Amino acid sequence: MTSKEVVRLEDVSAHYDGVPVLEGVNLSIYQDDFLGIIGPNGGGKTTLLKVILGLVEPGRGRVSVFGDTPEKGRKHIGYVSQYSLFDRDFPASVWDVVMMGRLGKTGPFRNYTKQDREATLRALEAMEILDHRDQQIGKLSGGQQQRAFIARALVTEPELLLLDEPTASVDTPLQTDFYELLGKLKERMAIVLVSHDISTISIYVDKIACLNRELYYHSSKELAAEDLEAAYRCPVEMIAHGVPHRVLKEH
């Protein structure tokens, strides 16, 4: 049975101040996808997510999100940005921060409902931080904060979760647990994970795309060495540590 397509990009190009960021990108995302997008810094990964969200309008091409425009379709999307800037001394609890994700459903001048509280509880349980619900968000570790921000995205009950470098503030020993949590979430929604860490995400995701203005993607977990070399513009070599993967060769 063919999985439902939730996002489609056709010949999408985008630029900032005349500088090309995306060129001729074609991509389909399906409801059961766990897609990792890798690529060098400045390669357009964050811009691609913002195009899907309708935050960046492409200069050329067509974008469909849940059969509609990105602006209308993004209500089905949960998004966690690469950098979460906030006042760490602000006395907001983890519960408060996660509950804020429901504002899009309740409106800013309405009281939270029983359904909002139940959704918040489920999100905290899914990210395994329910025990921290009453702690001040700024006092948590980087990894715990990132779980809270993902929980805030989950309370919208999305059908697609977009994560931009979600392990940037997570200590390496804790990243395995973090990715395994995402593996559980993929049973409920499509996930697109942007990262620069080729070796780690290749273990956990189901499909990998490589982006450096142009997208190299074969709707599988296999990336040809020539695709990586074209995207990173340097040689690569194959290695294996339990699970085969590719890394950049020093150059």
In this structure, what DSSP letter does residue 99 have?
Answer: H
Alpha carbons 153 and 103: distance in angstroms, whole number:
11
Model pTM? 0.83
Give the start-to-end residue ranges of the domains of the chain. Answer: 5-88+157-248
Which of 79-88, 154-163, 189-198, 220-229 is most confident? 154-163
- Give the percent of the chain with pLDDT over 90: 49
- SS3 of residue 206 by DSSP: coil
**pLDDT value at 69 more than 70:** yes
Confidence (pLDDT) at 107: 58
Would you tell me which CATH number, out of the four given (3.40.190.80, 3.40.1160.10, 3.40.50.300, 1.10.1740.10), belongs to the domain 5-88+157-248? 3.40.50.300
At 27, the pLDDT band (50, 70, 90 cuts) reads very high
Average pLDDT of the chain, as a whole number: 83
Alpha carbons 120 and 114: distance in angstroms, whole number:
10
Q: What is the mean pLDDT of residues 70-87?
A: 84
Confidence (pLDDT) at 245: 46
In tens, the pLDDT along 145-200 reads 888 999 999 998 999 999 998 877 666 666 777 888 888 888 889 999 998 777 66
Lowest model confidence (mean pLDDT) among 18-22, 43-47, 194-198: 194-198
Confidence (pLDDT) at 45: 93
Read off the tokens for 125. 């349980």
From the CB of residue 52, how many other CB atoms can be counted at a distance below 10 Å? 26
Confidence (pLDDT) at 112: 84
